[in-house]
Amino acid sequence: MAELFSQDLATGVGRSLKHDSADKHVAGEAVYIDDRLEFPNQLHVYARTADRAHARILRIDTTPCYQIAGVRIVITHEDIPGLKDIGPVVAGDPLLAIDKVEFFGQPVLAVAACDLDTARRAAMAAIIEYEDLEPVLDVVEALRKKHFVLDSHTHQRGDAAAALATAPHRIQGTLHIGGQEHFYLETQISSVMPGEDGGMIVYCSTQNPTEVQKLVAEVLNVPMHKVVVDMRRMGGGFGGKETQAASPACLCAVIAHLTGQPTKMRLPRVEDMAMTGKRHPFYVEYDVGFDDSGRLHGVNLDLAGNCGYSPDLSGSIVDRAMFHSDNAYYLGDATVHGHRCKTNTASNTAYRGFGGPQGMVAIEQVMDHIARYLALDPLAVRKANYYGKTERNITHYYQTVEHNMLEEMTAELEASSDYHERRESIRRFNANSPVLKKGLALTPVKFGISFTATFLNQAGALIHIYTDGSIHLNHGGTEMGQGLNTKVAQVVAQVFQVDIKRIQITATNTDKVPNTSPTAASSGADLNGKAAQNAAEILKKRLTEFAARHFNVTEEDVEWRNGHVRARDQIASFEYLVQQAYFAQVSLSTTGFYRTPKIFYDRSQARGRPFYYYAFGAACVEVIVDTLTGEYKMLRADILHDVGDSLNPAIDIGQVEGGFVQGMGWLTTEELVWNAKGKLMTNGPASYKIPAVADMPIDMRVKLVENRKNPEDTVFHSKAVGEPPFMLGIAAWCAIKDAVASIADYRVQPNIDAPSTPERVLWGCEQMRKAVATAQLIEPETETVPQ
Amino acid sequence: MIQFLVNQALHSEHALDPNMTVLQYLREHLGKPGTKEGCASGDCGACTVVVGELVADESGTDSIRYRSLNSCLTFVSSLHGKQLISVEGLKHQGELHSVQQAMADCHGSQCGFCTPGFVMSLFALQKNSQGPDLHKAQEALAGNLCRCTGYRPILDAAAQSCARPCRDQFDAQQAQTIARLKAIAPQQTGELNSGDKRCLVPLTVADLAELYSSHPEARLLAGGTDLALEVMQFHRTLPVMIYVGHVAELKRIDKTTTHLEIGAATPLTDCYGALNDEYPDFGELLHRFASLQIRNQGTLGGNIGNASPIGDSPPLLIALDAQIVLRQGQRQRTLALEDYFIDYRITARQDSEFIEKIIVPRASNDWTFRAYKVSKRLDDDISAVCAAFNLSLEDGVVSGVRIAFGGMAAIPKRARACEAALRGKPWNQASVERACQALAEDFSPLSDFRASREYRLLTAQNLLRKYFIELQSPHIETRVTDYV
C-alpha cells in the first residue's frame, strides 16, 4: 500500500483519458434513445407540417386519418391540456399551429400510431385548408420594414460618427453570412412513459433537461415534480438540442397523457431539417474609419440576424454577435446595432458560438477590406488592431480585456507556421500559376466565456459513495460527445485521489440534480466540474475529519493519494476508510453547487463584465483555389489554441479540431437554400454538404498553448473549449478570399459572401478579372452576382 | 426463400417484406440497434455494414470478399447467399476488434452516433488493406460523415488498423464460413414474398429476360442505391422487384482488342480497374463518384438506366462513344448511348427491356480524353456540372471531337454546337473561345440549390478552356484534386 500511495493518480485531471463511452461507441453498445427496447403498446408520432410559409388555417379535418388501421390518436393544438406555447424565453412557439402557420415545415397536427410509417400515412391523409398570406423571406426586406421578433439593441462607446468623419480613410460594405444546419448525426428524438399520478418519465435527446421538464409540465398543466427527464447521451447537439428538443418531448407527453401509452417521436432527417431552426444567417452593413496603418478610429456596424418566425433565443444570440463584433480588436469609437429580423422560416436557434461567430466574421471582413484598400498584408492590419494590454483594452461593452494572450500566441503561430516565408512563396507560386491560386490567412479568436444571462451561470452535482468504495456521480450537464462526463469524473477522481474506474457516470436526470442550466455556452465543464468538485470536497472533508478521529491524528496529518489515505504512519485503502466511516454513521452522500463569480451586466446601459474570462486561439490556413471553377482544397492548417490548464488534452484537441472543421464547413460548403415559397431545398445530406474526410486540410498541425493556467479560479484552472475553436474556421474563408484577391494583385476586396461555395468563389474571381481589365484597382465596384 | 449469414448465424427468410431494408431488418427485426440511421438516404454512412461474398480467384481458390455498404439503401433480398456483418459481430469473446480498439485508442469517437458506421468502413478497409495508405483510407471513409471530430483521429485509427491487422475471428473461421456460404449458394431463382409484395432473384440472363417479360411491371433492382430512395425517402411501395445482382453474366467485364464489354450489373467498384487502365480521368471521376459504399452497390448499368440528368458516368461514356446492348426476351439490340436518353427520365428502353452490357471503345493514341466533375464538396457530392471532352487532332486541326455534359440539361447530352465550332478548325485559343460561345447555344441550364444557371454555363465554358490548357500547356497546374 505504501508503494501505491507513493504513486501519482493516473486518471485524474490533465490526463488524456479516452471518452468514457468510447468502448461502447465502437462496439455499437452505447444506447441512444431510439435503441431502447420498445413496449408492446408503443406509439410512434409523426407531425404533419405546413406546406407553405405563411397562411391562415381555415379548416382541419382529421377524420381521414382515423380510416387508416393502426392509428391511435390525432392531436391538434385544441388537445393540449395546458399551455400551448413552448417558447423558451418568451412566448412565440406554439407546440402545434394555432389558427395560422408562419413557416414551411411548422407542425400543425400530430398522429400517433403503431409504427412510424402508419403515422406518416395517416398524417398525410388529414385535410388542412389554408388561406395564403404574404410571407417575408428575405432578411434585408425584414430589416427595411423593421419586421422584428424583438427590439433592436445598441452597444456604444464614444462618438463613432465623429471618428468616421475625421478618420484618414473610410470604407463601407455589406456582407451576407449564411446560416448552418446543426447536422447532429442523431436527429431529434424523445420517448415518454406515462406513470402514476399523472407523472411522466421523459427520455429526451436534449441539452436542457430542466427546460424540457418545465415545458412538459406546462403543456400537461401539472407541477414540475410530476415530470422526470432522463438524458444519458446525445448523438450530437451543437446547440440544436438546447431549445428545439422540447417539441417532440411535449408532443409525446401530450399523447402519452391522452392515451396512457408509451410514446416515441423520432424525426426523420428531412423533417428534422425542415422543422428545426439553424444558426442565424446575418446581414451586415459596416462603415469604418482608419489610419494609414489600418488601425481603426471608428466603427459603425449593423448586425441583422435572421431569427426566423419566433424569438426562441434570438435575444441573447444577437447580443453575443454584438459582443463579438470586436473579435480581438479595439474598435475605437464604436456603435454596434443588433437587429432581430423576423422572417417566415423555422425559428433559428443556438448553434456553437451562439451568434459570436457571425459577429467575428463581420469584423474579419472589415480587416481584409482595410488590408486590400491599403495594400497591406491582412495580418499586419489585424495585429495593428489587437487589444492592448494596458491601454486600448476596453471593449465596446466596457469590459476590460485581461490576460490577453493573442500577441504572443500570434507571434508563436507566425513562427511555427512560417507565415512570412510561405506568404512570399505563395506570391511566387501565384505569379507563375494562371489557373490555380494559393491563399493564406492567419486569424485570431477571442471568445467570451459565460452565459450572458448571468443567472444561468450556476450548476449542481450529486455524489454518493457506497460502502464498497464505488462512487455514483451525477451532475446537471449533458453529454453530447464533448467528453463532459469524462472530464467531470476526472475532477472527482482527482479530489478523492481514486481511480476513475471507481466512479460510475450516470444519466443526467432532473430528479437527481434539479434546476439545471442548459449545457451550452461552452460552460459544461466550467460549471458542472466546479459543482462536482464542490460536492467531492464536502465529502472529502467529512472523511478527513473522520479519518483524523479514527486514526487519532489531526486533519492536517491526513493525506490522500492514489486510492489511499495516509494518517502519519498508517495507510488505509479508500474503501476501508469508507466502510469505517459508514459504521461510524458518517453521511456519504452530498450535493455540490457552483455559481460563477465576478460577472455582472446591465443591459439597459450595455455595460458590465458579462464574461468571466476570454478563451484565445489563432489559426493559419493555406488553400488552393481553381479560378476557372471556384473549387478549392485546404492544404494546411496550423492551430494554436488556449485551454488554460487542460483537464484532458486529448478531449480538448478533439474539440479544437472538430470545432475548426465545423467552422470551416459553415463558411465554405454548407449552404442553405430556400425556394421562393420558403421551402428549404437543402434538406438532407445529399444537398447540404458538411465537411467529409477529404475536406480536412491535408496537413493539420494542432497545438494547445502549454503551461498557461487560466488566471481565474476555474476548475483546476482550465478554460472552456466547446465553442471557441469553431471560429478558427474563419481563417479558411479568409484564405480563400486571399487566393482570389491575388488575381488583382491583392488590391481589391473580393465580394465573397459566406459560405464561399465554389460558385461564389468563381464570381469573386470574375470580379477580380473585371477589375484587372478595367484597372479599377482601388475600390471594388458593387455588383450584383447571381446567387 | 433466401438464405444468408448474419455474422455467423444462418438466417432463412421467405415471408419478409421485400421492401424491407437491411437497416430495418437489423434494428427492428433482429433487435440489433448498433447500426444507426442518420439520414436513410445513403449520404451519411451511419448505417454502414459489411457484406462478405464468396469469390474465386483465377486458380479457383475460394475466398470471402468484404465490402462496406449502406444498409439503409440495401433491400434484404440482395443478401441472398452472402454474409452480413454488423457492428455487433466484431467484438469477440468480450474483446474489441482491432479496428474498434484503434478507434477507441485514437479518440475517434465523440458523440458516438456515426461511430458504428465508421468502424464497419474501417473493418472493410482493413480486410482489403496492404498496409497503411492515407489515400485508401480517405476513399474508404468518404461516405461516412462525422460532425464532431474533424476526422483526423479517425484517419489515425485507419492507419493503426492497417498497420497492425490482427488475425481475427473472421480469419480463424474463414474455411468454415466459406463452406457455409457454399452450402447456401443460390441454385435456382429465389423469391421473397410477403403476400402483396415480392422480389424475384434469378441467376441467369435467360431467366431474368423471361421473368421480366412475364412481369413487365416489375422494377429491376441492381445496386438499389437509387431505387431504395423511393421507399426510404418518398415512401412508395415497390410491389414487384427483380434483383439482378445474382446474374453472373451481367457482372463480367470482357476486354477485346478494341472494346471493353461491361456487364450492366457490374458494381462501379469493379468497373474501376478496367476503365482507369484505359482512361485515367474516368478512374479519377469514379473516385469522386458518390462514396465507396455506394460504388460497392451501385452499378454502371444502373447509373445509365435511371436516366438521371446528373448521373456522372453517362457524359463520359457518351464522349467515349459507348454503346449499350439492350435485351428483351431473346431479342438484343445495340444502341449508341447518346440515343438512349430522350428527355427528362425518358429513355429508348421498351417494356421488359433491360440493359445487358455497356460497350466502351478502348483508348487510342489518336484521341485525348479528359473528364471534369464540379461540385460544392469534392467528395461524395452530386455534380453541378460534369464534363467530358474527347478530341483527335491531325496536323493541329480538330479531326474528331465528342463533348458531353451532365447537369446542363434534362438529360446527359452532347454539345453539338460546341463540337461543330471545333471540328475541322485549328486547335487554338480562338477556336476554343468560339466553341465556348457555342456552348450557350447547346445548353440553357437550370438554377437550383446546387448552382445557378449562370454558374453552370460559365463553368462549362471554363472547363473547355481548362481542357485546352491541359492539352497545350501540360506544365500548368489545373486541378485542386491533384493536391492530396
How many other CB atoms are there within 10 angstroms of residue A57's CB atom? 18
Lowest-confidence region among A778-787, B135-144, B470-479: A778-787
What per-residue confidence (pLDDT) applies to B60?
87
CATH code for the domain of B238 = 3.30.43.10
User: Does B270 lie in the same domain as B236?
Assistant: no
What per-residue confidence (pLDDT) applies to B13?
93
User: Does B226 lie in the same domain as B136?
Assistant: no
Residue A780 per-residue DSSP state: P
Rounded to a whole number, what is the distance in Å from the CA of B99 to chain A's nearest CA? 9
User: Does B288 lie in the same domain as B220?
Assistant: no
Catalytic residues of A: 723
For residue A142, being part of any structural domain is answered with no
CB pairs under 8 A between A and B: 263
Question: pLDDT tens digits for A704-714?
Answer: 999 899 999 99
What per-residue confidence (pLDDT) applies to A781?
44
Q: Select from A505, A633, A693 the residue whose CB has the most chain B CBs within 10 Å, as the one to mutate to test that interface.
A: A693
Whether B480 sits inside 8 A of A690 (CB atoms) is no
User: Does B197 lie in the same domain as B178?
Assistant: no
Point out the residue among A626, A661, A759 whose CB comes nearest to the CB of B480. Answer: A626
Residues of A in contact with B91 (CB under 8 A): 27
User: Does B303 lie in the same domain as B267?
Assistant: yes
Indicate the number of domains in chain A.
Answer: 3
User: Does A569 lie in the same domain as A697?
Assistant: no
In terms of CA atoms, which chain A residue is nearest residue B459?
A629
CATH code for the domain of B331 = 3.30.465.10
Place A767 in a pLDDT band, splitting at 50, 70 and 90: very high
For residue A292, being part of any structural domain is answered with yes
Q: Which of B304, B337, B361 is the last residue of a domain?
A: B361
Rounded Cα distance between A32 and A224, Å, is 25
CATH code for the domain of A559 = 3.30.365.10
Q: Select from B107, B118, B432, B467 the residue whose CB has the most chain A CBs within 10 Å, as the one to mutate to test that interface.
A: B107
User: Does A439 lie in the same domain as A292?
Assistant: yes
For residue A16, being part of any structural domain is answered with yes
The C-alpha cell of A89 is what? Answer: 424565453
Residues of B in contact with A235 (CB under 8 A): 36, 111-114
Indicate the number of domains in chain B.
Answer: 4
For residue A257, being part of any structural domain is answered with yes
Q: Which of B198, B228, B243 is the last residue of a domain?
A: B243
User: Does B169 lie in the same domain as B34?
Assistant: yes
Q: Which of A595, A627, A652 is the last residue of a domain?
A: A595
In terms of CA atoms, which chain B residue is nearest residue A269?
B39
User: Does A321 lie in the same domain as A336?
Assistant: yes
User: Does B395 lie in the same domain as B341?
Assistant: no
Q: Give the structural domain span for B36.
A: 2-183
In terms of CA atoms, which chain A residue is nearest residue B470?
A435
User: Does B79 lie in the same domain as B61?
Assistant: yes
Residue B103 has pLDDT above 60, yes or no: yes
For residue A155, being part of any structural domain is answered with no
User: Does B311 lie in the same domain as B226?
Assistant: no
Whether B455 sits inside 8 A of A650 (CB atoms) is no
Residue % of chain A over a pLDDT of 90 = 97
Q: Which of A244, A275, A306 is the last residue of a domain?
A: A275
Q: Give the structural domain span for A256.
A: 50-134+182-275
Question: pLDDT tens digits for A349-364?
Answer: 999 999 999 999 999 9
CATH code for the domain of B457 = 3.30.390.50
Closest among A548, A169, A117, A105 to A347, alpha carbons compared: A105
What per-residue confidence (pLDDT) applies to A785?
46
- Mean pLDDT value across residues A421-441: 98
Question: pLDDT tens digits for A108-139?
Answer: 999 999 999 999 999 999 999 999 999 999 99
What per-residue confidence (pLDDT) applies to A680?
98
User: Does A653 lie in the same domain as A564?
Assistant: no
Question: pLDDT tens digits for A32-82?
Answer: 999 999 999 999 999 999 999 999 999 999 999 999 999 999 999 999 999
User: Does A730 lie in the same domain as A658?
Assistant: yes
Rounded to a whole number, what is the distance in Å from the CA of A179 to chain B's nearest CA? 15
Point out the residue among B36, B150, B465 whose CB comes nearest to the CB of A696. Answer: B150
Closest among A575, A547, A434, A460 to A512, alpha carbons compared: A460
- Mean pLDDT value across residues A498-515: 97
ipTM of the complex: 0.97
Residue A776 has pLDDT above 70, yes or no: no
User: Does A718 lie in the same domain as A624?
Assistant: yes
For residue A544, being part of any structural domain is answered with yes
Q: Which of A553, A576, A595 is the last residue of a domain?
A: A595
User: Does B432 lie in the same domain as B355?
Assistant: no
User: Does B210 lie in the same domain as B293?
Assistant: no
Whether B107 sits inside 8 A of A654 (CB atoms) is yes
